[in-house]
Structure 1
């Protein structure tokens, strides 16, 4: 079965995002090239596990982290699972594979003070780009949406009168997210600046470049990194950390896990529970401070 058939399966049946599909395709092409160049083996369908193990060693020697290697192997596992499904193979070569050990990834959210400083004290500028950059940060923090969801947000998805917006998440699942009056005001300010652009080539998407085109994911990342470098010493400054911050701050202030799960668009509570680490730390502080048996 060709790689193109697998890619079509991911797109049409699994409803994966274009970003995810490209990642799968990139991993599989890289493995196919390794098979051909290093071992004169061109057909991924018939490979045995020792060849995959050699690829793992090769990646490790190139300095690829265990976490990244595990992700690449996950792409292979999905491919061989598909081959099993269509009957091209009877046993996956990865049936006995065990993932490489990785250190626990700790993502530190921004503090409430850092968020307040960014949104209330940092000068963004009164031009189109300044208003747009502030809106990017405001929307990510106020709604917890993913970077790709922000990029694809349309003008028609935002209802200013009701304070709700519609997001198309992973696997084309829609969800409705409320936003704050401050966010609504920032959207109005941005839209006013947007109408003054010389040219708007994309009138459907909400957030545009100064050339009037749909923004792209790298621009969102650069925006977050640029402004948070002014207020935060944290090493990692990314759109995902803002999503992490959104969830953590809600949980710290008493939001229940199921509500946060719905807002984030997670399919299971297990995905949301990774954000409870910081809220538990906050609860411990409150407990120790308030409990009468705690001797100071």
Structure 2
């Protein structure tokens, strides 16, 4: 443990790591040492190779540890071996070039049909500009499938309530025409009427804030 103690003193006194980080690093290194000793009692910090580190990662994943947890422990081991290599305490770094497990992306959350029906129900909303705007945005997303960037980029000229078509500008300025139904056309007309009597300004944007500015992505969210 002499090598580990030198490393812990280094991150504590020279790098000024927090006491909690030092404790966690010590715990991670002790766990790794326990693991490789169980594999082979003759192994040491100097003789461990990359296969042993890979086995350790697989062992942790098999025990249900998340990718984030495994990567955190691997980071502690990587920092330790970099220190040891710089101080010439070892001849080679077994962690060099190893990649930790990729983090799994969370599955998207979907609304149930009954929940969506309640969300679109006009009775759920007031006649205020804020509510009319919010409901129009939700129905537009739901019926047309436009992206957020496409929605906030819509201008009045892009909405045709006669032909029931929206002209959207997507990535690399590519334009496409999206048809929509009579219900959305009526909602667009209602929204524009409320907007034009409530909002002051000369913005050409279709979806506007109460101050007459084009909505940002954050405001839509």
Cα deviations by residue, 1:88-144 (Å, 9 ceiling, x for unpaired): xxxxxxxx8968512243113212211111111553211222211110101011111
Matched, 1:189 2:190: yes
Matched, 1:208 2:212: no
Equivalent positions of 1:116-135 (< 5 A) are: 116-120=117-121, 122-135=123-136
Equivalent positions of 1:28-43 (< 5 A) are: none
Residue 175 of structure 1 is matched in structure 2 by 176
Equivalent positions of 1:1-296 (< 5 A) are: 100-120=101-121, 122-197=123-198, 199-202=200-203, 204-221=204-221
Q: TM-score, normalised by structure 2?
A: 0.53
SS of match in other structure, 1:206:
coil
Structure 1 pair 142–99 and aligned structure 2 pair: CA distance change class (3 A)? farther
Deviation at 1:194, TM superposition (A): 1.4
SS of match in other structure, 2:187:
helix
Cα deviations by residue, 1:198-229 (Å, 9 ceiling, x for unpaired): 51231x110101111111111111xxxxxxxx
Q: TM-score, normalised by structure 1?
A: 0.40
Distance 2:167 2:199 in 1: 28
SS of match in other structure, 1:195:
helix
Residue 23 of structure 1 is matched in structure 2 by none
Deviation at 1:195, TM superposition (A): 1.4
Distance 1:97 1:161 in 2: 60
What are the ranges of 5 or more consecutive residues in structure 1 without an aligned counterpart?
A: 1-37, 39-64, 70-95, 222-296
Structure 1 pair 97–138 and aligned structure 2 pair: CA distance change class (3 A)? farther
Deviation at 1:152, TM superposition (A): 0.8
Structure 1 pair 197–104 and aligned structure 2 pair: CA distance change class (3 A)? closer
Distance 1:103 1:214 in 2: 35
CA-based RMSD of the aligned residues comes to 2.4
Structure 1 pair 190–108 and aligned structure 2 pair: CA distance change class (3 A)? same
SS of match in other structure, 1:185:
helix
Say which structure, 1 or 2, has more relative contact order (CA 8 Å, 6+ apart). Answer: 1
SS of match in other structure, 1:176:
strand
Distance 1:109 1:170 in 2: 25
Structure 1 pair 141–198 and aligned structure 2 pair: CA distance change class (3 A)? closer
